[in-house]
Homo-oligomer: A and B are copies of this chain.
Amino acid sequence: MNPESSASSVGIVSPQRFHHSGDFPLQCGRRLPGFELVYETYGQLNDKASNAILICHALSGNHHAAGYHDSSDRKPGWWDSCIGPGKPIDSDKFFIVSVNNLGGCHGSTGPRTINPQTGTEWGPDFPAVTVKDWVNSQLLLADHLGIDCFAAVVGGSLGGMQAMQWAIDAPARLQAAVLIASAARLSAQNIAFNEIARQAISADPNFAGGHYRQQHRNPDLGLMLARMVGHVTYLSDDGMRQKFGRELKSGDISLGQDVEFQVESYLQYQGRSFSQRFDANTYLLMTRALDYFDPASDFDNSLSAALAQTRCRFCVISFTTDWRFSAARSKEIVDALIRSERNVCSAVIESEHGHDSFLLPIPRYFEVLGGFLNRLHQDYSDAN
């Protein structure tokens, strides 16, 4: 594919860097001596800086949400189906900012960054970060970009949690929050799956207490297993049945051969590939941030009290077969927003693809999302 010839692609994009030189206090009580965030932008900021959309990524995501880094790239950014000219998040209308979270492993300050106080990589000593910390760091990026108020903060899964925290912590700085396949907090089952992933990584002998890079090794096995668990739980049973069924890759037990089902080799491939490209300490840190997220806990465990802090419009989208962040969890958010008399539209989208649906170009999903954002564009950007 030639990315530049694709009419609906943002084309070739280059990551940019934002450097914050001051001390940055974290929720855990520690301070970072400055930090950097890597980000990309798509589209043009208008004169009033009123048409900006912030994209918040999920657990294993990064800042490269759309377009290509060079013309030889085979794959575009992770949300390219949704972001671009004429797409639901329309780069002809909006200035779209996509950032790699603090603590990440794709260029923002994180466990692989040199700790200026020691001269070596942070590794496992990188401080615990929370969703609140991410919002605070992204607010500084917004200042740097001259964006007083985002038209929308948009995210799926863990990204939706960030959008929710934005609405609570910085109500004057966004017009809308879009929460896709998200939840107001993890269930015990979700925490349990994260814990399995963490155990797989941290008990891998090659994890070496998090100092694997100093020792020139990598917890490939743990990362592979963590990814396999994630992958299975992000798909639905129905979706996997359609994709793999019980198709054999090889073998016939009646012929005395080992049997391998297609789903097995697929998961192994996905897991191995992930272990080559993702940092183990970042994975631990991100899952901890997920587990800890619980904005209601600051408001006497009342989600509606937490959401009463907000001023923006909300769009809450969920998917029928998503069992990791089910439609019922989105309904809890919608119900709390209604109780706190917020402006909310919501949709439950029919899909066979489980939690992964939020990454897929499902027509009704894109109509709901695109419709919401285009109304926003008419109401705010044009009127201003």
Contacts and interface: CB of A to CB of B under 8 A. Distances in A.
Contact of A187 (B199, B228, B241): B241
B263 A195 contact: yes
Interface string A231-246: 0100111001101111
B128 A253 contact: yes
Q: Which of A203, A259, A271 has the most CB of B within 10 A?
A: A203
Given A195-B267, A229-B229, A189 B240 contact: yes
Tell me if A's interface is mostly helix, strand, loop or mixed: helix
Contacts of A128: 253, 258
B192 A232 contact: yes
Interface in A5-33: 27-30
A227 to B, nearest CB: 10
A289 B328 CA distance: 35
Given A196-B267, A199-B225, A228-B196, A191 B256 contact: no
Interface in A204-243: 204-205, 221, 224-225, 228-229, 232, 235-237, 240-241, 243
Interface string A183-204: 0011111011101100110011
Contacts of A256: 28-30
Copies of this chain in the oligomer: 2
Contacts of A228: 192, 195-196, 199
A157 interface: no
A291 interface: yes
A198 to B, nearest CB: 8
Contacts of A288: 259
B185 A246 contact: yes
Interface residues of A, number: 54
Contact of A240 (B30, B192, B244, B267): B192
A267 to B, nearest CB: 6
Contact of A237 (B189, B195, B229, B243): B189
A24 to B, nearest CB: 15
A22 to B, nearest CB: 21
A341 B309 CA distance: 62
A292 interface: yes
A120 interface: no
A253 B292 contact: yes
Contact of A292 (B29, B232, B259): B259
A72 interface: no
A255 interface: yes
A273 to B, nearest CB: 14
Contact of A264 (B28, B192, B241, B245): B192
Contact of A246 (B188, B196, B240): B188
Given A241-B187, A253-B27, A291-B261, A193 B225 contact: no
Q: Which 5 A-B pairs have the closest CB atoms?
A: A188-B240, A29-B256, A188-B244, A189-B237, A195-B264
Interface of A: 27-30, 128, 130, 185-189, 191-193, 195-196, 199-200, 203-205, 221, 224-225, 228-229, 232, 235-237, 240-241, 243-246, 253-256, 258-259, 261, 263-264, 267-268, 271, 288, 291-292, 294, 323, 326
26 contacts: A27-B253, A27-B254, A28-B253, A29-B254, A29-B255, A128-B253, A128-B258, A187-B240, A187-B241, A188-B245, A189-B235, A189-B240, A189-B241, A191-B261, A192-B240, A192-B264, A192-B267, A195-B263, A196-B228, A199-B225, A199-B228, A199-B268, A200-B200, A203-B224, A229-B229, A237-B323
